[in-house]
Structure 1
Amino acid sequence: MRKEMRIKLIKELIASHEIKTQNELVSLLVEKGYDVTQATVSRDFKNLKLMKVPCKNGGFKYSTEAVDEYYSLEKLQRKVRDAMISIEEIHYFVLIKTFPGHAQSFGVILDGMEIDGKAGTICGNDTCLIICRTPEHAMSLRAMLESLR
């Protein structure tokens, strides 16, 4: 099976089924007559940047669509309250200091959100640098993050 065809089929299956594990997807592909391994599916998941989102009936499923803004904002608020030590605005940047091991998760949440003026994030172990398009965007983002405390 060509990779392009497999990727297209995976997108269709993710959209039409509640797939909670990679092995469930492997089973569906095998049922459709395609010989794939879990390792191949795992690489495809990374390539597609699939994420787990909440199911209506509990648990999590894979999705190609971004988590809605409310869910992301809720996650960000929890992270701000639980792990943010300090926040500083420096021209085009917002610098978040976190407890050790939490900076990457700030970056993942922020990168998944549509925030006006945010260009991207760079994160280490305890520091998350948010790059903004203008100093005004940085000021607005810092204020928004502080309001979540």
Structure 2
Amino acid sequence: MNREMRLQLITQLISKYEVSTQDELQKLLLEKGLKVTQATISRDIHALQLIKVPTKDGGFKYSFKVDQEYIISEKLKHKLRDALVNMEAINYFVVIKTLPGHAHSFGALFDSMDLEGKAGTICGNDTCLIICRSPEEAIHIQQQIDLLNH
């Protein structure tokens, strides 16, 4: 079996089962007639950009990065709806005013997102500041957030 077919099989297994370790994945592959080394599995996990996400029972399982980005996006949508007061782009910054006590959770969500042009965040009690690499990128990031808020 070539590499692409193996990656496709791993994708199917990760989608179908809650796989929490490389050893579990190795056993599932063996059940499908494919004997691979732990080093190969490790490279394949890296190639597929698999990450570990929490399960409902408190453990962890392999998942796709896209899934995680979707989860973060959904959390941010709810946060924007529930706690956003105001937002504006000012030069190199996006200033986000929140209800008291919510700015840090906004910052954590923005930090976990791959927003192009974002250099970092600074948060207080009711203000989250996204520091951008240019004024144009600040406007673009604000527009991306606005899309999530509608």
Q: Same fold (TM over 0.5)?
A: yes
**Residue number in structure 2 paired with 1:121:** 121
1:135 Cα deviation after fit = 0.8
**Residue number in structure 1 paired with 2:93:** 93
1:63 Cα deviation after fit = 7.8
**Counterpart mapping for 1:34-113 below 5 A:** 53-55=53-55, 58-61=56-59, 68-113=68-113
**Residue number in structure 2 paired with 1:28:** none
Query: What root-mean-square deviation, in Å, do the aligned CA atoms of Structure 1 and Structure 2 show?
Result: 2.8
Distance 1:145 1:95 in 2: 12
Gaps of 5+ in 2: 1-19, 24-51
Aligned length: 102
Q: Secondary structure at the match of 2:128?
A: strand
1:15 Cα deviation after fit = 4.8
Q: Which deviations, in whole Å up to 9, do the C-alpha atoms of 1:61-86 show, x marking residues without a partner?
A: 45899772111111111111111100
**Residue number in structure 2 paired with 1:32:** none
1:59 Cα deviation after fit = 4.2
Distance 1:86 1:111 in 2: 19
Runs of 4 or more off by more than 6 Å in structure 1? Answer: 63-67
Note closer, same or farther for the CA distance 1:61–1:124 as it changes in structure 2 (3 Å cut).
farther
